[in-house]
Chain A
Amino acid sequence: MPNKKYASQGHYVAPLEDTPVAPIDKLDESQKARSTWADAWESMRRRPTFWISSVLIVLIVVVALFPGLFTSVSPDKNCLLANSNGGGEPGHPLGFTRQGCDVYARLIFGTQASVTVGLLATLLVTIVGIVIGALAGYYGGLLDSLVSRLGDIFFAIPTVLGAIVLMSVLPSRTPVTVALVLSIFAWPQIARIMRGAVLSAKNSDYVMASVALGVSRFKILLRHVVPNAIAPVIVIATVSLGTFIVAESTLSFLGIGLPPSVMSWGNDIGQARTSIRTSPQTLLYPAAALSLTVLSFLMLGDVVRDALDPKARARR
């Protein structure tokens, strides 16, 4: 049909035998259609960043689960003030904290609490944020108003106030409870971002096309809108992972986070505050561990995001 149109305008039109459309029109029905996610995996596994970040994350998780494998020095016993803020020495490569504890051992043993807080809070916030934000943005109307205003209320509550109240009510303070408290006040952020992205995505041509094809609205949301709106959420989530770990330090510092007996990078960063000018190393090492963790997740997030985006894949 188009041939006719263009032909009438005097353009050159290739003869049918020169344009091999026919074989493509035939589908190999025996092969199962690859989903977006399978496509994503195909693209990811070809990228070195994916493997570097994955290895780092696995390493961090192993350290978090089995700290004893990486050091034989006790992180909180026999801390001697004689060693306070001391530099590295054999057996204590990174030196000592202000209380005279081994910095390296504390880094290793602090991984568990910090990574738990960071990962769990990020996961909770992301899941809740994506679900609520996607529903609000996609369906709009009353649901949107309700959910968005609820988010406004939660966001208005000062985290300090919420944390003091919740931590006083909760029977124990563990990385899990800290993650819970942080998530309760942070989900509206991701929900808003997701909602904004869904608003953009739901008006795209491919969504229109699916609607025209009679695909159910919910299926469109899952198959087309969410994967295309998720990119900014992944960015925010990976950055948030780091800020949650730092936020734990702030809460602990205020006495509403982890008790001092639970080791965490955040606790050590907070404790190093008084020695910034004289012994910056006590601050730098936990901050570096934190950076490395955030970096691994940022890289992974980048790869995942690219992989989910067919346009970005196409170019490579």
Chain B
Amino acid sequence: MKRSRVGLGAVALLSVGALALTGCSSSGGSENSSDANTDAIITTNGSEPQMSLLPANTTETGGGKIMTSIFAGLVSYDAEGAIENEVAKSIESEDATNWTVTLEDGWTFTNGEEVTSNSFVDAWNYAVLYDNAQGGSYFFDNIVGFSDLQNTKDDPSGAIDETTGKPVQVGDPLAETMSGLKVVDDTTFTVELANAEADWPLRLGYTAFMPLPSAAFEDMEAFGENPIGNGPYMLDGEGAWVHEEKIDLVTNPDYDGVRKPANGGLEIIFYATQDAAYADVLGGNLDVLDAIPDSAFETYESDFGDRAVNQPAAIFQGFNMPYYLEHWSGEEGKLRRAAISMAINREEITDVIFQGTRTPATDFTSPVIDGWTDKLEGADVLEFNPDEAKKLWAEADAIAPYGDTVFDIAYNSDGGHQGWVDAVTNSISNTLGITAQGKPYPTFAAAIDDRDNDKLTGGTRAGWQADYPSLYNFLAPLYQTGAGSNYEDYSSEEFDNLLKEGGQADNVEDATAKYQEAQEVLLKDLPAIPLWYSNVTGVSADTVDNVVFGWDSVPLYHEITKG
């Protein structure tokens, strides 16, 4: 029996919802290294894309970093997460509801086809149309007409889908195109949103919003294997994607956007484990690695010195306590949540277990997002305070005694979570004197199954990586009443209203203020117990220079120079 694994497999699954979005100013560093070889191929780590390479069907990091390299959307993100126009000349709105998008002239796909309004509108309609079953369709849910492409008629026999509990759908969708999308001319189209959204353009750098050439619609399956894009890189001919092994990208000579590559291309090698990738950088077979395995936390800085990177990223981690559990709702639940939160020594755990590759959380978002602050009212509930924790726990016990109930935190054991879960439960049990322990599930599917079906017996690991750099993206999908990822049934009218007000604000500053207010509600209720922000950790070999990591934990590949 030699069947084990070292952080295999589900690495990509864990950060689903995460996408690689690179962006940077066009001047980005290529001048100051004029001796660099602009034909050099940079080797870097990746993982086999989970799906074929279609923009709206790529919702995980493995495919994401390829898609952002070979496509250019309306905008792209710079290292800090600010948007810069790529294909867009302007994206304007007066009421945050009706948007007019104007395209820059002269953009072409690598097959010579011009990038027009239809390239975007057709791609977006394709992404949403029910029959196409694209995983990223929900990104368009705020566009008027979205539901007509998703909804079909209920099955007349009244059949119910077992997994969703909703009627089985039959027949064709009610519409083929979203009524909120209108092509004005080749370089202009308009978008009507269902609800006002002041920072809507922030979304548009995400892969789901990339354009598609008309060739794609002839045979989507073939296209997904050999995609034709308009980005800084393109596939190195047919068969550049060697499954489970690597994908070869070369620079796109016709690309003239803000991400002009300073190298000749990328060889993205797929690794099943980060340990193997790390061994390859050490052994000189890999130029850039964007994730350090936990077995190297203690050594990567001494191994690589100033070639190691450790900086905050747009990843929030914590654990959620379901509201349907006894002891964890109402006033008693509120006290217990605060007590648990204050019983965890985040500082020590991030230092010892993560060797500083996590940053203790002070809110529910991430320090790389515009508007983040560590001065939210009530944020002291996230500080280690054993005395207060014991006091609050005792107050909760006065309402209803906790007794011998075991406190557990569920996690999928194929993702390397045991170390911190054990440390957190030890911290809780040392402080509160209760029995606290981890509860491993063999697979991610098994873990989310209990979560989806409200069958958890305690807390559950929760992580969120932003798709696009906005506070809203960290809050609405997770804590809004009935939101898709709000598995633990949190519901607060006050929070919902503040989110809505933030969305309708005229400008981003006002919106941010509302979102922060909404976070203060969360700090009182603690639907999730924030733990830390996951840093981006990476190393590069001395063969390359200008390795800068973006807000989304992915290196800005186009800036890297070699030779």
Q: B6 touching A273 by the CB < 8 A rule?
A: yes
Beta-carbon contact of B298 and A256 below 8 Å: no
CB within 8 A of A182: which of B1, B296, B446? B1
Task: Encode contact with B along A40-61: 1 for CB under 8 Å, 0 otherwise.
Answer: 0000000000000000000000
> Which one, B2, B296, B297, B414, contacts A255 given CB within 8 A?
B414
Q: Are B438 and A278 interface neighbours, CB within 8 A? A: no
Complex contacts, A160 vs chain B, CB 8 Å? 3
Q: Bound state CA distance, A243 and B412, in angstroms?
A: 25
Given known pairs A164-B442, A255-B413, A255-B442, the reply for A276 and B1 (CB within 8 Å) is no
Tell me, in angstroms, the Cα distance from A305 to B194 when the chains sit together.
81
B352 at the interface (CB under 8 A from A): yes
Interface range, B side: 35 or more
Cross-chain contact B348 with A260 (CB below 8 angstroms) = no
- B443 at the A/B interface (Cβ < 8 Å)? yes
**B3 adjacent to A275 (CB under 8 Å):** no
Interface assignment of B210: CB less than 8 Å from any CB of chain A? no
Q: Is the CB of B383 closer than 8 A to any CB of chain A?
A: no
Q: Does A35 contact B (CB under 8 A)?
A: no
| B442 contacts A167, C-beta separation under 8 Å | yes
Interface bracket on A: 35 or more
In the assembled complex, A250 has its CB within 8 A of some CB on chain B: yes
Asked if B298 and A275 make an inter-chain contact with CB atoms under 8 angstroms apart, the answer reads yes
The 8 Å CB contact of A259, one of B297, B349, B427, B440, is B440
Chain A residues whose CB sits within 8 angstroms of the CB of B419 once the complex forms: 98-99, 271, 274
Please determine whether A277 and B426 come into contact, CB atoms closer than 8 angstroms: no
Which B415-445 residues have C-beta < 8 A from chain A?
418-419, 422-423, 426-427, 429-430, 437-443
A247-288 CB mask vs B (1 if < 8 Å, else 0) is 101100111100111000000000101111110000000000
User: How far, in whole Å, are A244 and B1 apart by their CA atoms in the complex?
Assistant: 8
Docked-complex contact A99 and B299, CB < 8 angstroms: no
Whether B353 sits at the interface, judged by CB under 8 Å, is yes
A84 within 8 A of B: yes
The one of A77, A84, A250, A273 that contacts B352, using a Cβ cutoff of 8 Å: A84
A54 to B418, CA, bound (A): 37
Overall SS of chain A's interface: helix
Q: Among A158, A168, A253, A278, point to the contact of B4 (Cβ < 8 A).
A: A253
Are A274 and B438 CB-contacts (below 8 A) given A254-B5, A255-B413? no
Give the residues in chain B near A186, CB-CB below 8 Å: 1
Contact across chains for A256 and B352 when beta carbons are under 8 A apart? no
Task: Flag A149-193 by CB within 8 Å of B: 1 or 0 each.
Answer: 000000000111001100110000000000000100110000000
Asked if B348 and A81 sit within 8 Å, CB to CB, the answer is: yes
A283 CA to B97 CA, complexed, in Å: 60
**Complex Cα gap A172–B295 (Å):** 31
Does the CB pair A81–B1 fall under 8 Å?
no
By the criterion CB–CB under 8 Å, are A168 and B446 in contact? yes
Answer whether residue A78 sits at the interface, using C-beta atoms and an 8 A cutoff: yes
Q: Which residues of chain B have C-beta atoms less than 8 A from A185's C-beta? A: 1
- Beyond A243-B1, A254-B414, A274-B294: 7 further Cβ-contacts under 8 Å? A78-B430, A81-B423, A84-B353, A98-B352, A164-B443, A168-B442, A260-B437
Residues of A at under 8 Å CB distance from B?
A: 77-82, 84, 98-100, 158-160, 163-164, 167-168, 182, 185-186, 243-244, 246-247, 249-250, 253-256, 259-261, 271, 273-278
Q: Which B residues are closer than 8 A to A by beta carbons?
A: 1-6, 294-299, 345, 348-349, 351-353, 412-414, 418-419, 422-423, 426-427, 429-430, 437-443, 446
Q: List 25 A-B contacts (CB under 8 A).
A: A80-B430, A81-B353, A99-B419, A99-B423, A99-B426, A158-B3, A163-B442, A167-B442, A168-B442, A182-B1, A244-B1, A250-B1, A250-B4, A254-B4, A254-B413, A254-B414, A255-B440, A255-B442, A256-B442, A260-B438, A271-B418, A271-B422, A277-B296, A277-B298, A278-B298
